[in-house]
Amino acid sequence: MTIAVSYGVGRHPFLTEQAKRLFIDGQWVEAASGKTFQTFNPSTGEALAMIAEGDGVDIDRAVSAARRALSGPWAKFKPFERQNLLLRLADLIDTHFDELAALDALDMGAPISRGREGRLRVVGMLRYYAGQATALHGETIENSLPGQFFSFTLKEPIGVVGAIIPWNGPLKSAIWKIGPALATGCTVVLKAAEEACLSPLRIAELCQEAGVPPGVVNVITGYGETAGAALAAHLDVDKVAFTGSHLTGQKIIQASAGNLKRLSLELGGKSPDIVFADADLDKAVPGAAMAVFANSGQVCSAGTRLFVEQPIYEEFTQRVATFGKALRVGNGSDPTTQIGPLVSAEQLDRVTGYMALGRREGARPLSGGERLTQGDLARGYFVAPTVFADVTDGMRIAQEEIFGPVISAIPFTDMDEVTQRANATPFGLGSGVWTRDVGKAHRMARSIRAGSVWVNCYQAMDPAVPFGGYKMSGYGREGGKQHVEEFLNVKTVWIRTD
Ligand code: ADP
C-alpha cells in the first residue's frame, strides 16, 4: 500500500478563531445555552473548530423563524424567482466548490480528490432543482359528473422541513435537502451532524449571499440526542427529511408521531454486489473494490457483501485485495490521497472491532484487517482497505453495517441461489451485478429487492434519477421528480359548475 504522509495543511479561511455560530432567521447567533463543542481533523487528530452547541431552544427559534418566513416575502416568490435564486446559489457553490470540498476533507476526512468529483451531485443537483421550480403542476382530473363538477389538484409547499443530515457527505446531504425545499417554496431547519458542521455552515453563508430571504434556510449545529431529537419531535415541523442510521431513523419515526409529520428516511444498508464468472473482470475488480473502499466505506449504499461466482472466487477476491493494497491511504487534504481516514476515534473503534470479529468468526483476511499507524498516519483514524474471504452468510460481518472499508467476500454457485441470499437481509438500498449476459442482467435487476441496482457499475448517480431504499433502508426518494413531490402537498379543488 502506498501511504501519503506529511501533508501540511494551511489554516482554511473559514476557520477563524471565533466559534462557529448558528444561522437562524438570517442572523449568525450563539447557541441559547452559550455552549460550544470542539471538532477534530480525523486525518491528524488535531483540534479543528469550536462549534455552537444548539439544542431544543435553538431549534424552537429556528422553527419559528422558518414558520414566519413561509408567510413572508418568500411566499410571494414566483416559480421563476425561486428558479433564479437556486441558479444563483448553484453558481456560488460552483465558484466555491473546491473550498467546500476542502472543508469536508478537514472536517470528516473525505479525500479532496473525491470531493471534487462530486460536482454533478451538488451543483448539478441544484441546477436540476432550479428547473423543477418552474415545472411543478397539479392535474385536471376527469370526474364522472362532468356537467356538474370540475376537479383539479394544486401542489403546495409542505411547509417547514426539518432536515437532519449525517457526516459522511455533509456538502451533498445539505444540498439534497435545501435544493428541493427551495424549489418547492418550503422553508428549512437543517441540523448538521456534530462530526461535520463546516460545509453546511458555509452553505448557509452562500445562501445569504445568493439572496435567500431570512428564515427560509436555517442551520443548527448540535448533538443528535438534543437538537436532532427536538427537531424530529417539533409540533410545528411539517416534514422531516432524514439521512443516517436505521436506529436513528426508528427514533425519528417515534418522535414524529406527535403531529404525524411526513417523513423521508434514507438509511443504511448491507448491499450485495454480485460478480458472475462471465463478467468483464478488468472492470469488475476496481468497480467492486471502490464500491466499498470509496470514502473509506462510509457510504450507506456501499456494496459490502461481495458475492462472487465459485469458478472465479479465488482469483477475483485476490485481485480485489491487490487493488485495495495499492490504494493511497492518507490525509484527506492531500490531493493524491485516494482513501482518507475514518471520521472519528469512535468510528475507528467500531471498524477495527469488526475487523477483529471477522477473524474470530473464521473469515480469512486477504488484505488489510487493521489500523494503519505508520508515520503520520498514527495521528489520524486510518484503517487499511480490507478484504475478508471465506465469509458465510450467517457471520456478523456479513449481516451488520460496518461503515468502514471492509469487504465480506462470499462464494455462490447459481443465479437463483445468489438472488435469494442477496435478498436475505433486512436492508435494501444499493446492489450491484457484474455480467456480460444482458438477459441475466435484466433478470437480476427485477429480482433484487433494493432501491438501486447498478449493472456493470456501482454508485452511478444523477440529479434526475431517484435514489432511496427498500425495507429497512428507508422510504422516500432523493433525486428526480419524486424527490420534489415529497416536499409538496396535494390539494384537491372541486368546483360546482351546473
Ligand atoms: P451515524 O451513525 O452515521 O452518525 P446517525 O443516524 O447517528 O448516523 O446520525 C445522523 C444524524 O442524525 C446526525 O445529524 C445526528 O446528530 C442525528 N441524530 C442522532 N440521534 C438523533 C435522534 N435521536 N434524533 C434526531 N436526530 C438524531
Please state, in angstroms and as integers, the Cα–Cα distance from residue 446 to each residue in 423, 440, 465, following that order: 12, 10, 17
Cα 115 to Cα 365: distance, rounded to the nearest angstrom: 30
Greater pLDDT, 4 or 160: 160
DSSP conformation letters of 272-337? EEEE-TTS-HHHHHHHHHHHHHGGGG--TT---EEEEEGGGHHHHHHHHHHHHHTS-EE-TTSTT-
For a pocket test of ligand 1, which of 248, 349, 350, 403 has the largest count of ligand atoms closer than 8 A to its C-beta? 248
Q: How many angstroms is it from 452 CA to the middle of ligand 1?
A: 24
Predicted pLDDT of residue 4:
40
Burial class (CB in 10 A: 0-12, 13-18, 19+), 406: buried
5 pLDDT more than 50: no
The ligand 1 atom nearest the CA atom of 232:
25
Q: Kind of pairing, strands 406-412 and 364-367?
A: unpaired
Using alpha carbons, select from 343, 341, 283, 284 the residue that is nearest to residue 309: 284
Predicted pLDDT of residue 115:
66
Confidence band for 17, pLDDT divided at 50, 70 and 90: confident
Q: The C-alpha cell of 35 is what?
A: 455552549
Confidence band for 265, pLDDT divided at 50, 70 and 90: very high
**Those residues with Cβ within 8 angstroms of residue 124's Cβ, 6 or more apart along the chain or in another chain:** 462, 463
Binding-site residues, ligand 1, Cβ < 6 A = 164-167, 191, 193-194, 224-225, 228-229, 232, 244-245, 248, 251-252
Whether 186 is catalytic is no
For residues 430-441, give the mean pLDDT.
98
Confidence band for 2, pLDDT divided at 50, 70 and 90: very low
The model's pLDDT over 351-382, given as tens digits with 9 standing for 90+, comes to 999 999 999 999 999 999 999 999 999 999 99
Predicted pLDDT of residue 11:
63
Cα 144 to Cα 165: distance, rounded to the nearest angstrom: 45
Cα 206 to Cα 219: distance, rounded to the nearest angstrom: 12
The model's pLDDT over 195-222, given as tens digits with 9 standing for 90+, comes to 999 999 999 999 999 999 999 999 999 9
Cα 243 to Cα 249: distance, rounded to the nearest angstrom: 8
Q: Whose CA is nearest to atom 4 of ligand 1?
A: 166
Per 3-state DSSP, the chain is made up of helix, strand and coil in percentages (nearest 5) of: 40, 20, 35
Contact 307, 444 (CB under 8 A): no
The ligand 1 atom nearest the CA atom of 249:
6
For residues 218-235, give the mean pLDDT.
98
The structural domains of the chain, ordered by start, are 3-267+474-492 (3.40.605.10), 272-462 (3.40.309.10)
Q: How many angstroms is it from 194 CA to the middle of ligand 1?
A: 9
For residues 256-275, give the mean pLDDT.
98
Q: How far is CA 13 from the centre of its chain?
A: 26
Q: Whose CA is nearest to atom 19 of ligand 1?
A: 224
3-state secondary structure (DSSP) of residue 449: coil
Q: How many angstroms is it from 81 CA to the middle of ligand 1?
A: 34
Using alpha carbons, select from 228, 241, 160 the residue that is nearest to residue 191: 228
Using alpha carbons, select from 160, 318, 328 the residue that is nearest to residue 234: 160
Whether 266 is catalytic is yes
Predicted pLDDT of residue 18:
78
Cα 189 to Cα 164: distance, rounded to the nearest angstrom: 9
Q: How many angstroms is it from 225 CA to the middle of ligand 1?
A: 7
Q: Whose CA is nearest to atom 26 of ligand 1?
A: 228
Cα 130 to Cα 179: distance, rounded to the nearest angstrom: 8
Confidence band for 116, pLDDT divided at 50, 70 and 90: low
Catalytic position from the list 53, 194, 195, 266: 266
Predicted pLDDT of residue 300:
96
Q: Whose CA is nearest to atom 17 of ligand 1?
A: 224
Q: How many angstroms is it from 433 CA to the middle of ligand 1?
A: 31
For residues 404-410, give the mean pLDDT.
98
9 pLDDT more than 50: no
Tell me the angle at which helices 281-293 and 313-325 cross, rounded to the nearest 10 degrees.
Answer: 50
6 pLDDT more than 70: no
**DSSP-assigned letter for residue 196:** B
Predicted pLDDT of residue 10:
52
Residue 292's identity, in one-letter code, is V
Q: Kindly report the number of other CB atoms within 10 A of residue 459's CB atom.
A: 18
For a pocket test of ligand 1, which of 37, 39, 108, 164 has the largest count of ligand atoms closer than 8 A to its C-beta? 164
Q: Whose CA is nearest to atom 27 of ligand 1?
A: 224
Confidence band for 118, pLDDT divided at 50, 70 and 90: confident
428 pLDDT more than 70: yes
Confidence band for 1, pLDDT divided at 50, 70 and 90: very low
Say how many residues make up the chain. 498
Q: Whose CA is nearest to atom 21 of ligand 1?
A: 224
Q: What percent of the chain has pLDDT over 90?
A: 94
Q: What percent of the chain has pLDDT over 70?
A: 97
For residues 225-229, give the mean pLDDT.
98
> Taking all residues of the chain, what is their mean pLDDT, rounded to a whole number?
95
**Those residues with Cβ within 8 angstroms of residue 78's Cβ, 6 or more apart along the chain or in another chain:** none
